[in-house]
Amino acid sequence: MMQFVIPTAIPTRTIDAPNFSTSRFRAEREADWIAFDFLLTKLEKKGAKALTSDELLQLPLLYRATLSSLSIARATSLDKALLDHLEALSIRGYFLVYGVRESRWNRLRRFFLYDWPAAVRSVWKETLIIALVILLGALTSYSLVSSNPEWYFNFVDEEMSGGRDPRATAEYLQTTLGHGKAAAEKGESGLHVFATYLFTHNSRVSILSFALGFAFGVPTLMLEYYQGIGLGAMMAVFSAKGLGFDFGGWLFIHGTTELFAAALSGAAGLRIGTAVVFPGARGRLQAASAAGRTAGKVMVGVILMLFAAGLLEGFGRQLIADTMLRYAIGTLMLLFWLAYYYIPRREDVT
């Protein structure tokens, strides 16, 4: 029968079991592990300011001592519970001693001050393209409805429009804007129903335009064009009754935020679509993954913008009936978003 013998030329390392028992190993080194765990816990709860100068100097020494214990424990095959404990302690020590630690508040602060605006600025070309597509859709429907009012019913759902169509009188249309005697008597014009519809509709289209961006950006462009269709058709109806300026104020108070968010969602989807079509030197998956990280930051901001638009739409527009004040609020919101996104910040350069 053949036997396999380890050649004597290859040195082997043997450990004397009695001299390397778990209990003896723990007794010799456990004090360092306990001290290291205490400092890590203190560092996790209160930060580096809670440590004294001696403790700060002791921290890396205890970390290296723990790593040494872990190395010996692995080489000598000590019990698994002790090995797991040392591994967990070493991982904690690595992230707390050498890792970059940042509080949740600082992460939120960084996102709102730097990451979100930087992501929006990086898709400025796509944002401009989407804004032009929305404008093109609005101009198309506006011109068609102005020349033939029957086109309106091809663009806007008759039930959800609540009678705001070419057949309505100027007096009725004015009450839907929060003006007129009828609106004052009712206390509200029922416009919140239509406002809710618009908000839900625009939010759905915005999310879809982002989600479908992977299909080479084509569905995104189509959805954003459709976004402008309803807007232009409604503008044509009110303009034909001499209420174009008032309708603009009714829309402007929240529209500058909501349409900006729609343009950004389309830009996020288009960024992913262009990365798939034109990946450059990288692979398609790698390019799409990088674009997705940027687009994801943009979309987090879009959700917050839509929430802000919903507040302006649900409260500001219902409570503020003065057309000029509506225009002023909408203009201030637009200037706020432009300044927030596009004014450069020092940390972006460093």
pLDDT score recorded for residue 5: 41
3-state secondary structure of 189: coil
From residue 348, give the alpha-carbon distance in Å to each of 51, 112, 301, 342, 343.
32, 13, 18, 12, 11
pLDDT score recorded for residue 198: 61
Task: Report pLDDT digits (tens) over 84-125.
Answer: 888 889 888 888 777 655 567 777 888 899 999 999 999 999
- What is the enclosing helix (H) or strand (E) of 87? helix 80-97
pLDDT score recorded for residue 8: 41
Q: Where do the structural domains in the chain lie, given as residue ranges? A: 18-97, 109-345
Query: Using an 8 Å Cβ cutoff, are 312 and 329 in contact?
Result: yes
The helix-helix angle for 80-97 and 53-76 (nearest 10°) equals 140
pLDDT at residue 202 tops 90: no
Task: Report pLDDT digits (tens) over 2-17.
Answer: 443 434 443 444 444 4
Residue predicted with more confidence, 115 or 180? 115
pLDDT score recorded for residue 99: 63
pLDDT at residue 285 tops 90: no
pLDDT score recorded for residue 262: 92
The secondary structure of residue 114, as a DSSP letter, is I
pLDDT score recorded for residue 195: 56
pLDDT score recorded for residue 328: 95
Task: Report pLDDT digits (tens) over 242-282.
Answer: 999 999 998 899 899 999 999 999 999 999 998 888 887 77
pLDDT, average across residues 36-57: 83
Task: Report pLDDT digits (tens) over 140-170.
Answer: 999 999 999 999 988 887 766 667 788 888 8
pLDDT score recorded for residue 13: 45
Cα–chain center distance at 134: 22
pLDDT score recorded for residue 120: 95
pLDDT score recorded for residue 160: 63
The CA-to-CA distance between both ends of the chain, in Å, stands at 72
pLDDT score recorded for residue 159: 65
Query: Using an 8 Å Cβ cutoff, are 89 and 33 in contact?
Result: yes
Task: Report pLDDT digits (tens) over 286-335.
Answer: 888 888 889 999 999 898 998 898 888 777 777 788 889 999 999 999 99
Query: Using an 8 Å Cβ cutoff, are 120 and 260 in contact?
Result: no
How many other CB atoms sit within 10 Å of the CB of residue 275?
Answer: 25
pLDDT score recorded for residue 349: 42
CA separation for the pair 211, 220 (Å, rounded)? 8
pLDDT score recorded for residue 330: 94
**Triad 63, 67, 73: Cα angle to 5°:** 145
pTM for the model stands at 0.67
